[in-house]
Amino acid sequence: MRHAALAAALLATPLLLTGTPATSLAQDELALGPEARSALTLTIYNTNLALVSERRRVELPAGEQRLAILDVSRQLQPETVILSGDGLALVEQGFDVDLMTPRRLLERALGARVWVRRQAAQGETTYLEGRLISIADLPLVRIGERLEQVPHGDLVFEAEAGREGFRDRPTLFATLQSAEAGARELGIAYLTGGLTWQADYVARLNEAEDRLDLSALITLRNDSGVDFDEATLRLVAGQINQVGGPKVMARAATMEMAMADAPMAAAAPVAQQPLGDQHLYGLERPLSLADRQSKQVGLLAVAEVPVTKQYRFEALINGFGGAEEIGPVKAQVRLEFENDEASGLGRPLPAGVVRVYQAGPADMPGGTAPVFLGEDRIGHSAAGETLRLTTGRAFDVTGKSRRTAFDRISNKTYETGQEVTVENAKASAIEVKLVGQMPPGWRVVEESQAHEVESANRPVWTLAVPAGGEATLRYKVRVTRP
């Protein structure tokens, strides 16, 4: 059964199917609503998937009893449902999601007996019996020897029309066999779509651009079709395998940010610990999440995180012997900081969007009101990792390159070179990273300054560029193909 292993861990005593025949439709149903709920836990993954685990108290007679378990998710995955309870055995279970709507009532009643409401001049209401013949455009009803088109509001249906599997809200049904009469705790667990979460980060960069305040909120969204009241909430960060791939994620709500002198403390503490190869975040107090509602809770707030600002070009240098000239292009602006204890972090950070702000100049209109600098997405980040945020392009830092050499030495070997010029229109000197893209089998044979290696085929030159001036890098590489 798909996903069964995930759900089974939460239910100690799953019900087993018996050989007893299924209960007939005539048997009275016992409605089991959310008021009978004694515990509710939502474990939400960041792939539009959640595990709902709850317990409801029910008074059962000895023998068989059909239950209608109300207020379950409209996106419940029926094949993942597990019911459990001491002294109980499962005869059958299913999920009715064919909801009662005016259109579905018409479809179900087609060819069946209906009544047409008539309002007399004296205000009396009468009902004429007929048979529904067609539902194209206005319903067409045969009344005696004539056919009439009837406005939708004047059509009355039999109360039991289409009763089986036809309900006013999604319903999980089950026929249980109880060894003896009495109160029971019924465990219910299922996987569902429609519940999502993501982390939204706010980074406030200081004026010197060497420190930032980092705060984060968890954004929760419920599109499952049902309210969840006073739920214990757990959030799983990481990738789990699903047959058929992850569902499409619900659109997350946009986070509003108010700039402050210091990050706001997280109002709802969130505990965190590893769980297998994922990380589990748990809210320390219950939370209610209504259908079609989004909520945010505080995750972290850290001040004065050391940060390095970097200007970077990744498209000017390549050793493939391509375009004669590249640019002019604007430099990428990147912020880097360490996810370690020395920075005030040192904890697993869930994936999310980091939005970077900076206070405006005090002598400008609007004063120190925040300015949005840009945003970038981070993946799930373990403690000790370096986080890198590309916020945009620098207005005042421009680069261009031109090919200075291309010599074919043999069928497998060639040499190529470039001259790269960076212009800095800023009022202060800067350093710029020039990142090369090289083919396998490369080595530098000439360079105007030394390079470092970022990865196997990515050399990096750091160029100092004076205020209001320019600087140039010249290099040549030899490439030998295998």
Is 439 contained in some domain? yes
Instruction: Give Cα 416 distance to the centre of its chain.
Output: 46
User: Can you spell out the DSSP letters for 286-317?
Assistant: -EEE-TTEEEEEEEEEEEEEE-EEEEEEEEEE
Return the pLDDT at 255: 33
Instruction: Give Cα 156 distance to the centre of its chain.
Output: 44
Evaluate whether 192 touches 228 at the Cβ level (below 8 Å): no
Q: Which residues span the domain enclosing 327?
A: 309-333+388-480
Is 151 contained in some domain? yes
In this structure, are 142 and 214 located in the same domain?
A: no
Q: Tens-of-pLDDT digits for all 482 residues of the chain?
A: 334 333 333 334 445 443 333 333 334 789 899 999 999 999 999 888 999 999 999 999 999 999 999 999 999 999 999 999 999 999 998 887 655 567 767 777 788 888 888 887 777 888 889 998 888 888 888 998 888 888 878 888 775 544 555 566 788 889 999 989 999 999 999 999 999 999 999 999 999 999 999 999 999 999 999 999 999 999 998 666 666 544 433 333 333 333 334 344 444 457 666 666 677 888 888 999 999 999 999 888 999 999 999 999 998 999 998 789 998 999 999 999 999 999 999 988 998 999 999 998 888 888 889 999 999 999 988 899 999 999 999 999 999 999 999 999 999 999 999 999 999 999 999 999 999 999 999 999 999 999 999 999 999 999 999 999 999 999 999 999 98
In this structure, are 142 and 25 located in the same domain?
A: no
Is 457 contained in some domain? yes
In this structure, are 260 and 184 located in the same domain?
A: no
Q: Where are the beta strands (DSSP E) in 206-324?
A: 211-222, 228-237, 270-275, 278-283, 287-289, 293-306, 308-318
Is 370 contained in some domain? no
Is 424 contained in some domain? yes
Amino acid in the structure at residue 34? P
In this structure, are 273 and 396 located in the same domain?
A: no
For residues 297-306, one letter each, b for 16 or more C-beta atoms within 10 angstroms of the residue's C-beta and e for the rest, the string is bbbbbbeebe
In this structure, are 200 and 292 located in the same domain?
A: yes
Return the pLDDT at 212: 96
In this structure, are 171 and 206 located in the same domain?
A: no
Final residue of a structural domain among 239, 271, 306: 306
- DSSP-derived letter for residue 249 is P
What gap in Å lies between CA 228 and CA 41, rounded to an integer? 9
CA-to-CA dists, residue 58 to 37, 93, 189, angstroms: 9, 16, 16
Is 93 contained in some domain? yes
Find the DSSP H helices in 382-466: none
Return the pLDDT at 15: 53
What gap in Å lies between CA 4 and CA 379, rounded to an integer? 28
Please give the tally of structural domains in the chain: 4
In this structure, are 293 and 413 located in the same domain?
A: no
Evaluate whether 59 touches 183 at the Cβ level (below 8 Å): yes
In this structure, are 291 and 187 located in the same domain?
A: no
Burial class (CB in 10 A: 0-12, 13-18, 19+), 329: middle
Is 105 contained in some domain? no
Instruction: Give Cα 339 distance to the centre of its chain.
Output: 23
User: Can you spell out the DSSP letters for 374-393?
Assistant: EEEEE--B-TTPEEEEEEEE
pTM tops 0.75, yes or no: no
In this structure, are 319 and 425 located in the same domain?
A: yes
In this structure, are 315 and 464 located in the same domain?
A: yes
What gap in Å lies between CA 302 and CA 156, rounded to an integer? 63
In this structure, are 208 and 133 located in the same domain?
A: no
Evaluate whether 205 touches 263 at the Cβ level (below 8 Å): no
Evaluate whether 231 touches 40 at the Cβ level (below 8 Å): yes
Amino acid in the structure at residue 25? L
What gap in Å lies between CA 88 and CA 178, rounded to an integer? 5
Is 130 contained in some domain? yes
Evaluate whether 42 touches 283 at the Cβ level (below 8 Å): no
What gap in Å lies between CA 463 and CA 472, rounded to an integer? 8
In this structure, are 291 and 321 located in the same domain?
A: no
CATH number at residue 431: 2.60.40
Residue (of 273, 75, 272) closest to 190 by Cα position: 75
